[in-house]
Amino acid sequence: MHEAVTRSILTDAPAMTENSAITSAVAFRTIIPRLPQLTDAERGLLDEWLARATGG
């Protein structure tokens, strides 16, 4: 009984598609300027990495 209830409540996390990974990276790039805990150099590097990952 416990296992049946557990199966009905818990599910596997949906697989992340390549498109959703790119979408997440693009969205994350938009908040880079609002990360005050990073230095300008760190924000620049993070932006460069995300730009490469998204092809832009």
Question: Is 11 within the bounds of a domain?
Answer: no
Note the pTM of the prediction, 2 decimals: 0.63
Question: Is 10 within the bounds of a domain?
Answer: no
Residue with tokens 């049946």: 4
Residues 1-55 pLDDT 10s: 888 888 888 888 777 676 888 999 999 999 999 999 999 999 999 999 999 999 8
Which letter does DSSP use for residue 38 in this model?
A: S
Question: Is 8 within the bounds of a domain?
Answer: no
Question: Is 3 within the bounds of a domain?
Answer: no
Question: Is 6 within the bounds of a domain?
Answer: no
Identity at 22, one-letter amino acid code: I
- Number of structural domains in the chain: 1
Q: Tokens in use for 46?
A: 């993070």
Question: Is 12 within the bounds of a domain?
Answer: no
Residues 25-36 pLDDT 10s: 999 999 999 999
Identity at 8, one-letter amino acid code: S
Range of the domain at 29: 18-56
